[in-house]
A and B are shown apart, each in its own frame.
Chain A
Amino acid sequence: MIPIWVYAETAEGAPKPITLELLTKARALGEPVAIALGPGARQAADALGKYGASRVYVHEDPAFRDIVATPAVDLLAKLIEKDRPTLVLFGMTYEGRDVAARLSARLGAALIANATDVVEKDGSFAAVSPVFGGSLLVTTVARAKPPLLAMLRPKAITAEPATQPASPKVEVLTDPVDTDKPAARVLRREQQKAEGPRLEDAPVIVSGGRGLGAPENFKMLDELAAEIGGAVGASRAVVDAGWKPYAFQIGQTGKTVKPTVYIAVGISGAMQHTVGMKGAKTIIAINKDPEAPIFKLADLGVVGDVHKVVPQLIQEVRSRKRK
């Protein structure tokens, strides 16, 4: 089987969710080979095997954690030169984007961004990416010599463990890492703790738009989310207006989410927003405008005023939970 490389992002000895998504895709296309870098990479190898990695390259130098992208690019370029894979998958994440783009310039390789799928095409690989808010899908093939570097959007693939989990062959690398050349170094990390589940992992998302009228009205959504075990999201209009930080933004230039239930409150449903949430299993919308485009994708739409509908909804949920 053809080896498919996966740039395996890890954190504290465990693969990040995007890595498991990439492995799931890689398994469908060939034999996954994971490259895990930084402290804790070795510890992550077993979990990578559960998702189908048959081989794992690990290098535990702290430089991979403390210097942005360049040490990973140096090592990947060397490994690619040696093993000559035809396809390398990256996540469309802060880390994946810097590494993949830099690597493409180093190798002169094709780089496809924003992909939601990678498919076989004419004996080679092609990546599929949405454009114009997801209304069109374009398929792109490489014209440069391999490898093709493809960046997949988070949540585009549903991660599934392999039916026959393998004990991967772990290859521990000790190549020296050049830490002297000018580089972007991480001085410190600031974590902004949010209450409740992470937006990306939440089973239910209550998302607010400009129709809420004022930033303080997001409190209603916080309350509703707390009652139903959900997370709060936002449209770009309210992020741009400073009502919510960027981390809440859902859509083309924000996060892609795939909850079981997505409740859009006072959101018009612009393409750039819906591209980030239309993968939700069920969509509920509240909007006072019966013509709002969000109703075109909603499983249940309520034409009404958020200030009436949401408080009643919170009250109903509370009383039903008590029963």
Chain B
Amino acid sequence: MNVVVCVKQIPDPNSPGKLDPQTKRLVREGVDLVVDPGDEHAVEAGVQLIEKHGGEVTLISMGPPKAADVFRKPLAMGAHRGVLITDPALENADALSTARAIAAAIKDRSYDLVICGTESTDGSSGAVPAQLAEILGLPLLSFAKKLEVSDGKAVIDRQTDEGYDVVEAPLPAVVTVTGGINEARYPALRGIMQAKNKEVKQVSVKDLGLDGKVGKAALTQEVVDVVPAEARKAGEVVEDKGEGGKRIADFLQQLKVI
């Protein structure tokens, strides 16, 4: 079976982000860029599937030219090739343009599953995978904390507020995975060496036949204002000198919790 995994490059979530006050976009200069940790679980899920069923994993990413680095780790984990959608026209693209571009890069390939993270760590709209499924006309299996494929079908445990639902869809389908689905592997040295020879291709908006249909030309929404949120005020901080638990109990009593 063939699997497509969508991976996004993001500023390292462990270093604090900044918004450019002028453009109101994330500042990308001078910060380390990494594979979205959520997408590493998608890569792991894809690699596990082909280890079991055979086939290949193709990575797709949309981003600036240097986002080609995003493929390094997933290729070392066992993916076969990377396709980077990169074009000045896609600068500041919104979720729907991103989904359109990724869909166009996928649609003529032979694939059984498209796997994405549930939401990107930096943008966190979580919209791209469902939009992608709609554009490709495929079922979406979302919030998967378990994924199995057999007999031309995919079955997931779909996270819910109360527990989970077991949900099934025929292939091909789009799946989004939660962090709980697996533990992403550390690439072995052999994988890292092999990754160096794997194919990474770049495609443009024109290659995809999307001239004038994505990016600025098709903006659905725009940020018009950014303001600091109101901060909460600190109260009293006391050191525990053997009375800390009592002090909290007093407070709870005052609040009529007890």
Contacts and interface: CB of A to CB of B under 8 A. Distances in A.
Nearest to B19: A136
Contact of B240 (A106, A253, A308): A308
Given A94-B158, A98-B130, A308-B244, 4 more contacts: A137-B226, A283-B235, A300-B235, A309-B244
B219 interface: yes
B82 to A, nearest CB: 25
B23 interface: no
Contacts of A253: 119, 124, 179
Contacts of B218: 108
Interface of A: 68-70, 73, 93-94, 97-98, 100-102, 104-106, 108-114, 121, 126, 130-132, 134-144, 148, 182-192, 200, 203-204, 227-229, 240, 246-247, 252-253, 260-261, 263, 278, 282-284, 286, 290, 295-305, 308-317, 320-321
A39 to B, nearest CB: 16
26 contacts: A68-B139, A104-B220, A109-B220, A111-B96, A113-B126, A126-B224, A139-B225, A143-B221, A184-B140, A184-B168, A189-B160, A189-B166, A191-B163, A228-B258, A240-B179, A247-B163, A253-B124, A260-B255, A296-B231, A296-B234, A300-B248, A301-B234, A308-B245, A314-B245, A316-B246, A320-B249
B221 A144 contact: yes
A141 B221 contact: yes
A309 B160 CA distance: 35
**A interface, by DSSP: helix, strand, loop or mixed?**
mixed
Contact of A303 (B126, B138, B238): B238
A318 to B, nearest CB: 9
Contacts of B231: 296
Interface of B: 16-17, 19, 24, 95-96, 99, 119, 124-127, 129-135, 138-143, 145, 155, 157-170, 173, 178-180, 218-229, 231-232, 234-240, 242, 244-249, 251-253, 255, 257-258
A317 B220 CA distance: 54
A192 to B, nearest CB: 4
B235 to A, nearest CB: 4
A313 B248 contact: yes
Nearest to A314: B245
B155 A114 contact: no
B135 A94 contact: no
Nearest to B145: A246
B249 A139 contact: no
